[in-house]
Amino acid sequence: MPTDEFHYQLMERLEADPEASHRQLTEELGVSVGKTHYTWP
């Protein structure tokens, strides 16, 4: 299960670039695509 810290990082990153793709986010945050899909708002 993703942590609150990961949720915060994801939200912060999406705020900076709302058009970011799942793949871009996984590369920048160092997580799997599945984890990003699971926590996508």
Q: How confident is the model at residue 17 (pLDDT cuts 50, 70, 90)?
A: very high
Q: Is the pTM of this model over 0.75?
A: no
b/e string for 2-25 if b means 16 or more Cβ within 10 A?
Answer: eeeeeeebbeeeeeeeeeeeeeeb
Residue 36: per-residue pLDDT? 82
Tokens of 29: 């945050």
Q: Please answer whether residues 36 and 10 qualify as being in contact, where contact means their C-beta atoms are separated by less than 8 angstroms.
A: yes
In this structure, the chain runs to a length of: 41
Q: How confident is the model at residue 18 (pLDDT cuts 50, 70, 90)?
A: very high
